[in-house]
Structure 1
């Protein structure tokens, strides 16, 4: 069987893997058993062939990835958080009944977008604007804004990595990468083989985030340094364009392995030392179970 393009995501005590046609989530339950849920992918993005249109596909794929990622996290959380349901969860379930999960995912996505725009679009350009009193060069001002944005990202990752629960997720993130490396190098999918590989991967979402930051610096430099309202509007309106360009770059990095791709991927790869941790054998076993489910 020919090798497939596979990506993944760490979830609570598990891993989600996805090929072109299948998606699978493997979770290690409290009793030690591994439960695997797999399904065929039905995406309007693929059906309408949007995934074949360079630069346009990036923003659509990003939204679809966010939705499916939250669904995967929701599925894995069901095995561990059943007794932690709060009043808001009960209210949503009472009002929306069978649609409660979709509503919760929608609310979570909206909140995530609002927080992301605030942290990585509005805050950096407002803080960067304070330097306009002492710096006149528009390119340097955009560079300062970009450095502030990257600093916020780095600080955020450093902060959440201190949580023991997040460290477990980061270990599963490392297991995801190691098992994919094992598959891409045409090794038998065993814990022993996967353990040998690095936990860093050029197609990682961490790389994507860093490339988004870098792309935005270059793109916004062409538009000078307008007033704060125009700057904020531009940062928000240009999100699909930045995502589209960044998506093509991340695909390029995953497709080729040469000096140029290594240089471009290097900062994001180094950032993965924060977002991945060395997994244990049981975590590798879970990642392999998810991977096998989508390539069989």
Structure 2
């Protein structure tokens, strides 16, 4: 079964090609909502997935549309990043526009990562990090064909190969490589940044054992970021929400004769 997961502030969403299930914990109760994907949307989604590069943008857009709170957090983090970087520049007595890729290039990307760390730490203390970990742990248990119960899931690692964090980390690294190889100022830098995301997606889905060996260090960076910043040890209540969502999805897939 092809599936994807997404965590929210108090929820976990799992989706397949034809069904979407979201489980939320509200006042110590787990509320489950399920939706079948429209046939037209299903056809369009399958068609888009056949187009390299474009499918990378589509995947990113779909994930954001699944949870507006996640989208809000992303934009607030981006604003924080821009403001923080502006302060770094200001205290170094450099007068530049609020976004200037020439300055980013000259100041070294290390400073960008140092600014991203506080954003990761903010995410770490939010409930989302626990639901994010629970989502990964349930996925890992299913991928290993283990029993899906709380005790089994608790023994799984909280990092996952297909996590969006890996996607983001690889995109940043791709952007850095492109930027140093083909240094272009201002608006061209923004275009290269947007191009880095679909390239990162192509790297993640490319099925070649030799290519995977070469790109494995990129995943290690993603795993480290997942562990340190974007997940934290979940409690039973977080795992229960993830299990509720995934088990309902399995039930729907069985009813449709997919599994």
Normalising by structure 1, report the TM-score.
Answer: 0.68
- Structure 2 equivalent of residue 79 of structure 1: none
Go from structure 1 to structure 2 and tell me whether the alpha carbon gap of 1:159 and 1:285 turns closer, same or farther (over 3 Å shift).
Answer: closer
Go from structure 1 to structure 2 and tell me whether the alpha carbon gap of 1:257 and 1:272 turns closer, same or farther (over 3 Å shift).
Answer: farther
Go from structure 1 to structure 2 and tell me whether the alpha carbon gap of 1:175 and 1:54 turns closer, same or farther (over 3 Å shift).
Answer: same
For residue 170 of structure 1, the aligned residue among 119, 126, 129 is 129
RMSD: 3.7
- Structure 1 equivalent of residue 113 of structure 2: 150
Go from structure 1 to structure 2 and tell me whether the alpha carbon gap of 1:46 and 1:243 turns closer, same or farther (over 3 Å shift).
Answer: farther
Using the TM superposition, give the Cα deviation of residue 143 of structure 1 relative to its aligned residue in structure 2, in angstroms: 8.7
Q: Distance in 2 between matches of 1:118 and 1:171?
A: 23
- Structure 2 equivalent of residue 89 of structure 1: none
Where structure 2 has 5 or more consecutive residues not aligned to the other structure, the ranges are 93-103, 252-259
Q: Is the 8 A contact 2:25 2:31 kept in 1?
A: yes
- Structure 2 equivalent of residue 208 of structure 1: 167
Q: Which moved more, 1:195-204 or 1:47-56?
A: 47-56
Structure 2 SS opposite 1:34: strand
Q: Is the 8 A contact 1:172 1:284 kept in 2?
A: yes
- Structure 2 equivalent of residue 272 of structure 1: 226
Q: Distance in 2 between matches of 1:118 and 1:261?
A: 30
Go from structure 1 to structure 2 and tell me whether the alpha carbon gap of 1:62 and 1:237 turns closer, same or farther (over 3 Å shift).
Answer: same
Q: Distance in 2 between matches of 1:256 and 1:293?
A: 37
Structure 2 SS opposite 1:8: strand
- Structure 2 equivalent of residue 281 of structure 1: 236
Go from structure 1 to structure 2 and tell me whether the alpha carbon gap of 1:272 and 1:258 turns closer, same or farther (over 3 Å shift).
Answer: same
For residue 116 of structure 1, the aligned residue among 62, 78, 88 is 78
Q: Distance in 1 between matches of 2:112 and 2:56?
A: 21
